[in-house]
């Protein structure tokens, strides 16, 4: 399901087409795009804000008025404790991108910065400046070994900063598999790892702006003294205060968590970040074309399918676009809805909405439906554009069949495999790094029958034409009297 696409992949495809075209004109000319390819790759990877290989965050979300301080390359017993004391005196919280090797050598410092309320990020194991020249296996080992160590020391980072801020084609897949995002920086003083610290504060204050992620270091070169550097850090904090630029935790600046006690899935991280703006995106952007059609189909079926139901399971409830109307319908006869979603933030918004609506018949469950243990039976199961994330849908339907009562309904609206849908799948792979699975009518029929559900109707909708049979499938099925 992890299928990360980036501008890098489209450059490959474009140059390949150019090379093939030039081959028929003059075979020697075909070497020109081949020669340009490594040059483009090298130059595109150098800027710390480059999104050539993967999405990279370098600034806070729009509207933020503060800045975030980040410290790289530590922990260092000669400097990190003094930095922590300085931050405590100013009441400032920072994010420390630590290396695995130094964290293993000084675990007490890693625990201490967490205890003092600071966040930790993953900065690779060895901090090799040539790490991005290595293969995927080496990169994966550097990231995952550091993750495992930091998890044992108290919390799992959700953010990774590559050494020197340079990325490569393998990094996005590695980060997705580890449940992480890439966070670089937008403001730095060129301190060369604290080898050039004179007037460091002045250089930063000349360029710092709201929403900046500021790069500093808490590692000391050999024979260097900490006192002059600490004075520069002090001057920087005082200067930011004088400029009315509050120092905020990185999580606050980004509007998303940067670490947690357990590892997270790529889809969970994506939707946690999207949650505050999810409803706006669903109804006030081009995405609304598909979502509004789903809502219209659902509203036409609401009374027919959910009247008299006692317990309904919704997979991928999100912020409750469909959950709340179902809950209102079931509340009329004392029924309840069990709403499942990967994103805790989405469920928090749903909980708030349900409280405002006075609904008390919602049960919220966070986690992956494929592995979650569900209690009791259901007389209805529904999902709206969420089964695309399920890697083993036949297996899930088999599991659900054991918990759906005879005569219970299954109601899905999801992606139909088609030409137009393919392009939206490509777009999603660029955006989320995940290939969301679209399915055909026949696939749904086969899976449902194998699980013991009898298809009632499967209909196509949205952008139906000669070359495309539609982008959405509406599926209604019913559980037979005897499960197969």
Q: Which of 357, 356, 364, 361 is nearest to 318 (CA)?
A: 364
> With contact defined as beta carbons under 8 Å apart, do 92 and 131 qualify?
no
How do the domains of the chain map onto residue ranges?
7-45, 60-260, 275-479
Active-site residue (options: 72, 73, 272, 379): 72
HSE value, Cβ hemisphere, 13 Å, CA-based, for 469:
13
Percent of the chain with pLDDT over 90: 85
Q: What does the pLDDT average to over 165-180?
A: 94
Q: What does the pLDDT average to over 369-391?
A: 94
Q: What does the pLDDT average to over 29-44?
A: 94
Strand partners, 69: 214
What stretch of H or E contains 454? strand 453-461
Which residues touch 364 (CB under 8 Å, ≥6 apart)? 317, 339, 341, 347, 350, 351
Active-site residue (options: 106, 118, 217, 273): 217
For residue 391, the model assigns a pLDDT of 86
pLDDT digits (tens, 9 = 90+) for 270-321: 898 889 899 999 999 988 999 999 999 999 999 999 999 999 999 999 999 9
For residue 303, the model assigns a pLDDT of 95
- Between CA 37 and CA 16 the distance in angstroms is 10
pLDDT over 80 at 1, yes or no: no
For residue 263, the model assigns a pLDDT of 60
pLDDT digits (tens, 9 = 90+) for 108-141: 999 999 999 999 999 999 999 999 999 999 999 9
Which residues touch 378 (CB under 8 Å, ≥6 apart)? 311, 312, 313, 338, 400, 403, 404, 405, 408
pLDDT over 90 at 329, yes or no: yes
Percent of the chain with pLDDT over 70: 98
Band the pLDDT of 196: cuts 50, 70, 90: very high
pLDDT digits (tens, 9 = 90+) for 420-465: 888 889 998 988 899 899 999 999 999 999 999 999 999 999 988 8
For residue 482, the model assigns a pLDDT of 52
For residue 94, the model assigns a pLDDT of 97
- Between CA 311 and CA 70 the distance in angstroms is 48
pLDDT digits (tens, 9 = 90+) for 386-423: 999 998 999 999 999 999 999 999 999 999 998 888 88
- Between CA 231 and CA 224 the distance in angstroms is 14
For residue 188, the model assigns a pLDDT of 96
Q: Is 217 a catalytic residue?
A: yes
Band the pLDDT of 484: cuts 50, 70, 90: very low
- State the average pLDDT for the chain: 94
pLDDT digits (tens, 9 = 90+) for 54-99: 999 999 999 999 999 999 999 999 999 999 999 999 999 999 999 9
Q: Is 72 a catalytic residue?
A: yes
For residue 431, the model assigns a pLDDT of 87
- Report the Cα 148 to chain-centroid distance in Å: 19
Q: Which of 349, 335, 275 is nearest to 306 (CA)?
A: 335
Backbone angles phi, psi at 128, to 5 degrees: -70, 130
Does the domain at 60-260 match CATH 3.20.20.370? Answer given as yes
Range 275-479: architecture per CATH: 3-Layer(aba) Sandwich (3.40)
For residue 267, the model assigns a pLDDT of 85
- Between CA 261 and CA 344 the distance in angstroms is 13
For residue 261, the model assigns a pLDDT of 63
- Between CA 36 and CA 426 the distance in angstroms is 25
pLDDT digits (tens, 9 = 90+) for 221-250: 988 899 999 999 999 999 999 999 999 999
pLDDT over 60 at 198, yes or no: yes
pLDDT over 80 at 474, yes or no: yes
For residue 483, the model assigns a pLDDT of 43
For residue 272, the model assigns a pLDDT of 87
């Amino acid at each position: 399901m992890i299928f990360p696409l980036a501008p890098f992949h489209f450059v490959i495809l474009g140059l390949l087409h150019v090379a093939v075209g030039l081959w028929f004109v003059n075979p020697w000319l075909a070497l020109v795009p081949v020669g340009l390819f490594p040059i483009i790759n090298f130059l595109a990877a150098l800027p710390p804000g480059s999104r050539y290989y993967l999405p990279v965050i370098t600034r806070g979300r729009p509207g933020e008025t503060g800045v975030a301080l980040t410290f790289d390359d530590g922990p260092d017993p000669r400097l990190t404790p003094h930095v922590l004391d300085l931050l405590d005196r100013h009441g400032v919280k920072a994010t420390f991108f630590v290396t695995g090797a130094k964290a293993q050598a000084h675990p007490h410092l890693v625990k201490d910065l967490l205890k003092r309320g600071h966040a930790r990020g993953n900065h690779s194991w060895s901090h090799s400046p040539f790490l991005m020249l290595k293969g995927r296996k080496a990169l994966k080992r550097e990231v995952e070994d550091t993750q495992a160590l930091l998890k044992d020391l108290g919390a799992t980072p959700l953010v990774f900063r590559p050494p020197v801020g340079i990325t490569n084609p393998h990094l996005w897949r590695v980060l997705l598999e580890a449940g992480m995002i890439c966070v670089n920086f937008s403001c730095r003083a060129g301190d060369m790892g604290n080898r050039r610290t004179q007037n460091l504060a002045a250089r930063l204050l000349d360029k710092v702006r709201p929403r900046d992620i500021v790069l500093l270091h808490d590692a000391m070169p050999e024979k260097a003294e900490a006192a002059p550097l600490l004075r520069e850090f002090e001057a920087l904090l005082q200067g930011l205060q004088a400029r009315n630029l509050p120092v905020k935790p990185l999580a606050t600046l980004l509007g998303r968590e940067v670490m947690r006690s357990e590892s997270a899935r790529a889809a969970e991280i994506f939707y946690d970040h999207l949650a505050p703006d999810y409803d706006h995106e669903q109804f006030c952007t081009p995405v609304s074309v598909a979502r509004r059609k789903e809502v219209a189909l659902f509203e036409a079926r609401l009374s027919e399918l959910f009247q008299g139901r006692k317990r309904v399971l919704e997979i991928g409830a999100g912020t409750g676009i469909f959950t709340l109307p179902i809950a209102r319908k079931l509340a009329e006869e004392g029924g309840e809805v069990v709403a499942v979603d990967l994103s805790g933030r989405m469920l928090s918004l749903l909980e708030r909405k349900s409280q405002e609506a006075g609904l008390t018949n919602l049960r919220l469950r966070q986690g992956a439906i494929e592995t979650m243990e569900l209690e009791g039976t259901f007389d209805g199961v529904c999902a709206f554009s969420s089964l695309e994330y399920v890697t083993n849908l036949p297996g899930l339907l088999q599991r659900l069949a054991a918990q759906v009562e005879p005569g219970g309904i299954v109601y899905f609206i999801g992606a139909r495999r088609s030409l137009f849908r393919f392009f939206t799948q490509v777009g999603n792979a660029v955006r989320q790094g995940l290939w969301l699975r679209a399915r055909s009518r026949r696939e749904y029929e086969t899976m449902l029958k194998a699980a013991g559900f009898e298809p009632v109707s499967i209909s196509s909708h949205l952008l139906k034409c000669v070359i495309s049979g539609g982008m959405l499938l509406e599926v209604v099925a019913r559980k037979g009297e005897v499960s197969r």
